[in-house]
Structure 1
Amino acid sequence: MAEACVVLLEQVFDEGRVLDRAIAEAFKANPKWGKRDRGFVAESVWEVVRWRRALGFVAGAEDPRSLLAAEWRRQGFTLPDWWEWSGVDVGEMENRESQLASQPRAIRESIPDWLDLLGSSELGDRWDAELSALNQRAPVCLRVNRLIASKEEVVSWLNDEGVEVEEVEGLDDALMLPLGKLLPKRLFQDGRVEIQDAGSQTVAPLLGVEPGMRVVDACAGAGGKTLQLAAAMQGSGEILALDVSARKLTELKRRAGRAGVRNVRMEEWGKNTLKTRIASADRVLVDAPCSGLGTLRRQPDLKWRLSKESVEDMRDLQSRILENCLEFLKDDGQLVYATCSLLPSENEQQIAELLQRDSRWRLDAEMNISPAATGWDAFYGCRLVKR
């Protein structure tokens, strides 16, 4: 198991692999691993990825074996004999661990220096609390699929299956599992619930969709919000789910079938996609590509894959997508722009610049979900309407 952890960390740090996909593939390739083995590997690797810089300081090195040694010691495990040749000195680790609290924030909170500077410059005094919240483990949040069952029916069904859940204040369809608990796969395949973070569930209601409407989900991805909109429309009307990734749309098709959704049409973006649908939609959702910094609780590997340049490129892409997608709207239509970032440059600043360029639009509503205040993923959302 220890060597399996090393291999996974090399894939994430050296090859830029996405953490949850790498772990899923490792589990699939090793079907003889028991539940306990899978849990040990997953938790070890996730925590090393989350605390890479802090563990590197404690270990005095950043190779996977040294990082794992520091993590296992932090967990109270006895280091295996074969670890002796890794060069890690347990006594020195104890000494460095006592010095960790006095290190710069980027080391203590385990993020790249450039990201710490960016967060501090954009969020000021808020950055400390938000960063600390983003380093916490995230519980699994479910969304009840009302096309199949009511919340009360779902709670009763889950309880009968031995799954405890709590309702989430302020969200009609959200149920939270206890921290560290997962939904058994056989229940997830049922279709009565979808896994969707509470922060994510706040975006779709901004659209105010109604049965019979024509809706465009311009950056649908694998369709979490698409399916939420379909349920709110009670299966009536039409949702056009667009994305540049055919793979993600294939996943959306599979999920829609499981959820009993019949009013979603999926299409890959093409050169005539916008041209043939100008002024055709009652509602448009632009869940824009973004840095994803608001999701670091469940994607800690993201902070090692991002760069200052990639975030800047993302801002340019957001601006182009937003401006183009406004053309989908009818005169009395509404557009919601959303990101899972907490950076104002990807959120409020994008909208302010748009309104300055194009006086046809006005800001009708706006929200910011703070991980520090809610314990959810960060999300920004705003609604635009024609003047």
Structure 2
Amino acid sequence: MRWHRVLTEACGELLSQVFDHGRVLDHVVAAAFQAQRKWGKRDRSFVAETVWEVVRWRRALAFVAGSEDPRALLAAHWIGREGECPPDWRWQRGGTEEMIARRAALADQPRAIRESVPDWLDERGFSEMGPSWDRELAALNGRAPVFLRVNTLLADRAAVLDWLRQEKVAARPVDGLPDAVVLEGLLPKRLVGDGRIEIQDAGSQAIVPLLDLEPGMRVIDACAGAGGKTLHLAAAMAGQGEIVALDVAGRKLDELRRRARGAHVRHLSTEKWDAGTLRKFRGWADRVLIDAPCSGLGTLRRQPDLKWRLTEPGLEKTRRTQRKLLDHYPELLRPGGKWVYATCSVLPSENRGQIDALLERDPRWQVEDERIVSPAETGWDGFYAARLSGAAR
């Protein structure tokens, strides 16, 4: 392999930002690409793939390298992939033969090392999920395909697939999701902002159908963020009715408004949460989506750095937030309305466990339907959603 020193050194610098300074992986890589406009497609692919895989396999590579230094991790990655390192690459300890021997011994190490997760997370996952944790963890260490959602306000799936073929983009429909497309190649940058498509994982696309929507309804997306599911709500309602997107972060709502304009969504308003939000919208909505803050463990394929930033106290704090949302956000419903609680986690304690605890606290609610999206079974990101109905308070 031909090595380019500028690129290999850049990989080490980006890993240091992620591991030593706790920066978010995709933000770090995006900033590097913005700064290095002379890098070509192959250069960017090398840097992104290298950094993503080293972050994903950090702990396993640390065992192979005998060190957690980013340069040693890169050496272990390149030796495992290419059989060699850049000729002038220097790391703290060990050599090629030693790393090859330690890689052979990796299969005999505990699961947390083999599958590259913190001990506490491995213990938590197995305690909650039993043997299925092995399958889900292995799936979450795979590479994520790119899924698109067809914006049915502007096109149907057949038309979008035809358009992608004309653009020489290989894609196919996703079974079980009427608006979903999975790419079998790359999506040219010039097509990313086209309003006919949104980049959205298939697991995420499984949530909105559970709301049992009808055109003309009033709907609240109570934790809208940048609005991937909000835009899906708008398309599912055929552009009819009212949608209110709420979030505590104003900058995310700014991004949502920008995306909504590109998607030709007109029946949407946004509001930042404040002390009077519950009072203002109490009893207003036919449907409420609570896409709750969560560990995000179902999305590890796309953001492997998350497992190194997540802590056990942080997870417990998130669970307390989920409980608070479940106790109060259904107040937004009118009598006879329905709501969906959703997370992008695979942990039962964040999912059905929270719903069961709510039903004990408030038996007026009942579960009508639920969806568990298993990465191991579907190849999608991991999600959970439950639809509930009952007497609003």
Alignment TM class, shorter chain as reference: over 0.9
Equivalent position amino acid for 1:215 in 2: V
Matched residue type, 1:133? A
What is the TM-score with the length of structure 2 in the denominator? 0.97
1:155 match? 161
Distance 1:111 1:332 in 2: 44
Give 1:359 deviation, angstroms: 2.0
> Is 2:370 the partner of 1:369?
no
User: Residue in 2 aligned with 1:137?
Assistant: 143
Count of aligned positions: 385
Kindly report the root-mean-square deviation, in angstroms, between the aligned alpha carbons of the 2 structures.
Answer: 0.9
Of 77-86 and 222-231, more deviation after overlay is shown by 77-86
Runs ≥4 residues deviating over 4 A:
none
Q: Distance in 2 between matches of 1:84 and 1:234?
A: 59
* 1:26-37 pair list within 5 angstroms: 26-37=32-43
> Which residue pairs with 1:285 in the alignment?
289
Per the alignment, residue 338 of structure 1 pairs with: 342
Quote the Cα distance in structure 2 between the aligned partners of 1:116 and 1:303. Answer: 10
CA–CA distance in structure 2, aligned partners of residues 11 and 88 of structure 1: 24
The C-alpha deviation readout for 1:227-271, integer Å capped at 9, x for no partner, is 001001111111100011111111111111111111111111011
Distance in 2 of aligned mates of 1:237 and 1:154: 25
Q: In the alignment, is residue 302 of structure 1 matched against residue 299 of structure 2? A: no
Q: How big is the shift at 1:210?
A: 1.2
Q: Does the residue aligned with 1:82 lie in a helix, a strand or coil?
A: coil
Q: Does structure 2 conserve the Cα–Cα contact (< 8 Å) formed by 1:69 and 1:88?
A: no
Kindly indicate whether the alpha-carbon contact (under 8 Å) linking 1:9 and 1:45 is maintained by their aligned counterparts in 2.
Answer: yes
Quick one: which amino acid aligns to residue 176 of structure 2? G
- Give the corresponding residue for 1:190: 194
SS of the equivalent of 1:274 reads helix
Please state how far the C-alpha of 1:88 moved relative to its aligned partner. 3.6
1:34, CA displacement in angstroms?
Answer: 1.0
Aligned to 1:386: 390
Residue deviations 1:109-154, cap 9 Å, x none? 0000000000000000110000000000000000000111111110
The one-letter amino acid paired with 2:70 is P
Which residue among 264, 267, 270 is the counterpart of 2:271?
A: 267
Partners of 2:186 and 2:230 in 1: CA distance? 23
- Given that 2:373 and 2:381 are in contact with CA atoms closer than 8 Å, whether structure 1 keeps it comes out as yes
Residue among 39, 51, 69 paired with 2:57: 51
Q: Could you tell me which residue of structure 2 aligns to residue 217 of structure 1? A: 221
Contact 2:239–2:266 under 8 Å retained in 1:
yes
Partners of 2:186 and 2:121 lie apart in 1 by: 31
TM-score normalized by the length of structure 1 = 0.98
Gaps of at least 5 residues in structure 2 are: 1-6
Deviations 1:40-65, CA, capped at 9 Å, x for gaps:
10000000000001111111111110
Render the CA deviation track for 1:146-188: whole Å, top value 9, x for unaligned: 111111110000000000101111000000012xx33112111
Amino acid paired to 1:204: V
Aligned counterpart for 2:237 among listed residues 233, 238, 243 = 233
